[in-house]
Structure 1
Amino acid sequence: MSKLDELIRELCPDGVEYKKLGDIATISRGGNFQKKDFLTEGVPCIHYGQIYTKYGLFADKTFTFISEECAKKQKMAQPNDIVMAVTSENIEDVCKCLAWLGDEPVAVSGHSAIIHHNQNAKYLVYYFHSQMFFAQKRKLAHGTKVIEVTPDALVDIALPVPPVEVQREIVRMLDSYTESVVELQRQLTAELAARKTQYSFYRDKLLTFNTPVEWKPMEKEFPFIRNGFVGTVTPYFTSEEQGVRYLEGTNIHDGVISDNEIIYVSKEFHQKHIRNELKNGDILMVQSGHVGECAVVDDKYAGANCHALIIMSNAGHCNSRFVMHYLRSTEGKSKLKKITTGGTVKHILASNMKKFMIPVPPLDVQSRIVNVLDNFEKICSDLNIGLPAEIEARQKQYEYYRDKLLTFAETGNTILSRAEQSRAEQSRAEQSRAEQSRAEQSRAEH
């Protein structure tokens, strides 16, 4: 039996009392300071928007401050109070909160609620992130573009209030589990970063030629280099059934073409710009924005059209994936940077790519290099997919564990407490034995 079970059996054998938040806390609104009032030092302050982006579940230091003069006009949260954001753009984020565990009062902005209570602050915060609380806040939330839960409505939130000793043990268990999840995330993220660094190292090493190798301008191996359509294409958007797949710069990342945004243009538009039709083995390069990002067209995207991308069609004398790997290497990126123009928004011209010099070793050498790099890239890609999935699975496991710990049989409810269940089972057993005894006696009499 765990320590938590022992505490529950000892301190609340008949269930846990559920109370309204208004019975254990006073709830007030935050103040009215704005981001323009932020300072690098002064009185600590928490802006409601930071609860979504900067803070975790608990905080003892702030990222921003306001002047003492500004603080005199503000609402302050005391140590152990809970600060809750009551306005958001979606139902998931509204009512996100943190426990203020600092040593001094903290100023709280508008669109926030300050919950002053007499319970374990971390226990309450864990509950305010549970599915049980989510189900209740959904009923209280209102709005369409801006979702809001008014602080006054929070007083009716029902929650289990076990003895403080039980709250403390639940917090200890959840803190420990949270630390293990965070540590796993750190390790998995570090593993992925290490693999990517290792891949970049081997790619650069394989694409650095110590023996003499022939260098040629791109147009010698890719004689048809041109720009994709540049202009307004929105009027030509259509459905998949009636159109042709259309790729943009947002579809090119990390050496692959993705379905990040799926767009189709009319077949009439495609025919009008048939010179930009993509073929298997073409290299696509982002021309503006995250310039230099490139990928090779495969069967899935052959026959598509594209917008604001440089299209480089292979003449068959070079391995397209070899060239793509070179363009993505440290040396390749450095050389691409030299032909990049523009200020805030960078550009690469197709005319400059025609003159861009690439190494052209024998085709069998190119193929061996591509085979090694593709395999290594697949490992990184699998990690990139698998590790976030593993992190998500652990997060869901944690949420299940948290909600399980925060679920109690309610005193006076039809749901029996553990002690009540035991007594009920004992009563049924005694009743069964009595009935069996009477039956045996009846048979003996007859």
Structure 2
Amino acid sequence: MSKLEELIAELCPNGVEFRKLGDIGQVKMCKRILKSQTNTIGGIPFYKIGTFGGEANSFISKGLYEEYKEKYSYPKIGEILISAAGTIGRTVVYDGEPAYYQDSNIVWLSHNESDVLNTFLRYCYELKPWSISSGGTIPRLYNDNILKAKIPVPPLEVQREIVRILDSFTLLTAELTAELTAELTARKKQYEYYRDDLLKFDHSIPMVTLGDVATVTKLAGFEFTNYVNYSDEGQIIALRGLNVKNGKLDLTDVKYIDNSDLSKLSRSKLHIGDMIFTYVGTIGQVALIDKEDKYYLAPNVALIRSTTDKLIPEYMRYYFQSGQFWHTQINRLLQSSSMKNIPMEKIRKFKLPLPPIETQKRLVKILDNFDAICSDLNIGLPAEIEARQKQYEFYRDVLLTFAETGNIIAQTDRQTDRQTDRQTDRQTDRQTEHN
């Protein structure tokens, strides 16, 4: 029997009481700060919608901070602040560092820890037990919603043990996430290093101007205005800048143009082997077209189509992602002007080495293999991180619902121990490999 099972059997064998947060404490807010009282230079960090739980981008003076902290409500160290608008329910433990919080966006429950621990409350808040009002343009968590929300309130000894278990899960999940993220970053850097090394050529390889070996064009403004009609359903996709990421097409958010006058858009129709290039906003992203009769250009994305059998599109795509291309052409071009875009005539003047066609094919084959490995990592490692987070959320929910006691709790405790053991084994294996 686990320690938590023993505590439940001894202190609350018949379940626990659910209490309203309003019966536990009072919802508090800081005094409202006006926009005219903030600045973007520095001082005391000021948190509002969009920055809560992250980095502050607004500040108030130290004098105003001290004045408002003295006169009005202010959180105590260890109390939990809750985002009441925007990303509703995001929580932050106030650590005592000087900071100020927007009253209409962030609230906290002030209470006596004699019967409910702040650390236990934080985990209860993650379950978001409150209802959300959406009467205005931005959904909000009003004070009344918080005060009416109910949470389980077991004896303090049980709360402490649940917090200990969940803290262990949180720590292990964070450590594993950090390891997997570091692994992914290392593999990406390794890939980029070998890609850039493979695409370095000596002076025996001729440099050609892009406009001499490829067509470079874009969707004209009048074409978009007169002939393009966006819709959320269809078969024909207009590729926008957000659809081009990390050398590939990203079709998670697309606009369809089936109802457009496609007969007037033949110049912007994309074919297999065409490369697209983002020239506004996020500049320099590229991808290759892999299907016929599927894609057209949207604004801010250029078409680059090879016009010679001496240039393989796949080779061109890899070279456009290389460090040397970015250092010598994209970055230099952007740094030499205040442009937020690259005109077509500038793109046509890009230089690229043109090795023999057999060399291009060999390089593409090698880089395709590297890319496949990195793609597997890009899918596998984030999926592992997400799985660990879901595992944590599952056991957190089991511990905090109190729908049952006994076996489920015991399994949770044992799962924590097993996860700890696996983490230790992984670290030992990696250390052994390193040595």
Fold shared per TM-score above 0.5:
yes
CA 350–41 in structure 1, closer or farther in 2 if over 3 Å, else same: closer
Residue 407 in 1 paired to residue 401 in 2?
yes
Residue 198 in 1 paired to residue 198 in 2?
no
Work out which of the residue numbers 170, 173, 176 in structure 1 matches 2:162.
170
How far off its partner does 1:261 sit? 3.5
C-alpha distance in structure 2 between counterparts of 1:312 and 1:40, whole Å: 45
CA 309–46 in structure 1, closer or farther in 2 if over 3 Å, else same: closer
Deviations 1:250-306 (A, max 9, x none): 222211122244223357633223222222222222222222222222225666344
How far off its partner does 1:208 sit? 0.8
Instruction: Give the structure 1 partner of residue 289 of structure 2.
Output: 297
User: Within 5 Å, which residues of 2 pair with 1:296-315?
Assistant: 296-299=288-291, 304-314=296-306, 315=308
How far off its partner does 1:63 sit? 11
Instruction: Give the structure 1 partner of residue 70 of structure 2.
Output: 72
Instruction: Give the structure 2 partner of residue 230 of structure 1.
Output: 221
C-alpha distance in structure 1 between counterparts of 2:47 and 2:348, whole Å: 54
Residue 351 in 1 paired to residue 351 in 2?
no
Instruction: Give the structure 1 partner of residue 413 of structure 2.
Output: none
Instruction: Give the structure 1 partner of residue 270 of structure 2.
Output: 278
Unaligned stretches of 5+ residues in structure 2: 408-435
Residue 331 in 1 paired to residue 328 in 2?
no
How far off its partner does 1:99 sit? 3.4
State which drifts further: 156-165 or 363-372.
156-165
CA 168–375 in structure 1, closer or farther in 2 if over 3 Å, else same: same
How far off its partner does 1:8 sit? 1.3
Work out which of the residue numbers 117, 120, 125 in structure 2 matches 1:123.
120
Counterpart amino acid of residue 71 in structure 1 = K
C-alpha distance in structure 2 between counterparts of 1:109 and 1:353, whole Å: 46
Matched position secondary structure for 1:33: coil
Counterpart amino acid of residue 373 in structure 1 = L
CA 211–68 in structure 1, closer or farther in 2 if over 3 Å, else same: closer
Deviations 1:146-175 (A, max 9, x none): 222332443332222111111111111111
TM-score, normalised by the number of residues in structure 2:
0.79
C-alpha distance in structure 2 between counterparts of 1:358 and 1:48, whole Å: 45
CA 313–83 in structure 1, closer or farther in 2 if over 3 Å, else same: closer
CA 48–81 in structure 1, closer or farther in 2 if over 3 Å, else same: farther
Matched position secondary structure for 1:295: strand
State which drifts further: 302-311 or 213-222.
302-311
Q: How many residues align?
A: 395
The answer as to whether partners of 1:27 and 1:116 remain within 8 angstroms in 2 is yes
The answer as to whether partners of 1:277 and 1:305 remain within 8 angstroms in 2 is yes
How far off its partner does 1:37 sit? 4.1
CA 239–360 in structure 1, closer or farther in 2 if over 3 Å, else same: same
Counterpart amino acid of residue 341 in structure 2 = H
C-alpha distance in structure 2 between counterparts of 1:294 and 1:22, whole Å: 54
How far off its partner does 1:202 sit? 0.5
State which drifts further: 17-26 or 399-408.
17-26
User: Within 5 Å, which residues of 2 pair with 1:314-393?
Assistant: 314=306, 315-337=308-330, 338-340=332-334, 343-393=337-387
The answer as to whether partners of 1:32 and 1:74 remain within 8 angstroms in 2 is no
Counterpart amino acid of residue 2 in structure 1 = S
How far off its partner does 1:386 sit? 2.3
C-alpha distance in structure 1 between counterparts of 2:194 and 2:100, whole Å: 52
CA 15–302 in structure 1, closer or farther in 2 if over 3 Å, else same: closer
The answer as to whether partners of 1:319 and 1:366 remain within 8 angstroms in 2 is yes
Matched position secondary structure for 1:19: strand
TM-score, normalised by the number of residues in structure 1:
0.78
C-alpha distance in structure 2 between counterparts of 1:201 and 1:37, whole Å: 44
Counterpart amino acid of residue 13 in structure 1 = P
C-alpha distance in structure 2 between counterparts of 1:268 and 1:114, whole Å: 52
CA 197–311 in structure 1, closer or farther in 2 if over 3 Å, else same: same
The answer as to whether partners of 1:13 and 1:418 remain within 8 angstroms in 2 is no
The answer as to whether partners of 1:83 and 1:114 remain within 8 angstroms in 2 is yes
Deviations 1:45-101 (A, max 9, x none): 76576435459xxxxxx9996532233332112234332333x14xxx324333335
CA 234–175 in structure 1, closer or farther in 2 if over 3 Å, else same: farther
Residue 158 in 1 paired to residue 150 in 2?
yes
Deviations 1:218-241 (A, max 9, x none): 23432x332332357266215588
Unaligned stretches of 5+ residues in structure 1: 56-61, 410-414, 420-446
User: Within 5 Å, which residues of 2 pair with 1:66-105?
Assistant: 66-86=64-84, 88-89=85-86, 93-102=87-96
How far off its partner does 1:341 sit? 8.2
State which drifts further: 381-390 or 295-304.
295-304
How far off its partner does 1:379 sit? 1.9
C-alpha distance in structure 1 between counterparts of 2:304 and 2:149, whole Å: 62
Matched position secondary structure for 1:212: coil
CA 266–195 in structure 1, closer or farther in 2 if over 3 Å, else same: same
Counterpart amino acid of residue 316 in structure 1 = D
Residue 180 in 1 paired to residue 178 in 2?
no
C-alpha distance in structure 1 between counterparts of 2:247 and 2:88, whole Å: 38
Instruction: Give the structure 1 partner of residue 19 of structure 2.
Output: 19
CA 301–260 in structure 1, closer or farther in 2 if over 3 Å, else same: farther
User: Within 5 Å, which residues of 2 pair with 1:204-219?
Assistant: 204-210=196-202, 212-219=204-211
How far off its partner does 1:34 sit? 4.5
The answer as to whether partners of 1:288 and 1:308 remain within 8 angstroms in 2 is yes
RMSD: 3.3
C-alpha distance in structure 1 between counterparts of 2:242 and 2:305, whole Å: 21
